[in-house]
Amino acid sequence: MLSIPLGLPELKVIKQELHSYGYAIHVEKTETQERCPHCGFAT
């Protein structure tokens, strides 16, 4: 299993796969809401 920190605290690694062409890393967001960086509205 690949164990390289992504440095992205808003993402959680849920699956890692080794393919003949490289690695596939599946992630999901840890937060359920985000705020627009322009207006601050919650999405």
For each of the chain's 43 residues, which pLDDT tens digit applies? Answer: 666 677 888 888 889 899 999 989 899 988 888 888 899 888 7
Sign of CA dihedral 9, 10, 12, 17: negative
- Asked if 30 and 10 touch (Cβ cutoff 8 Å), the reply is yes
How far apart are the C-alpha atoms of 27 and 16, rounded to whole Å? 9
24-42 CB burial, b ≥16 within 10 A, e <16: eeeeeeeeeeeeeeeeeee
State the pLDDT at residue 2.
60
**Measured distance CA(10)–CA(1) in Å, rounded:** 21
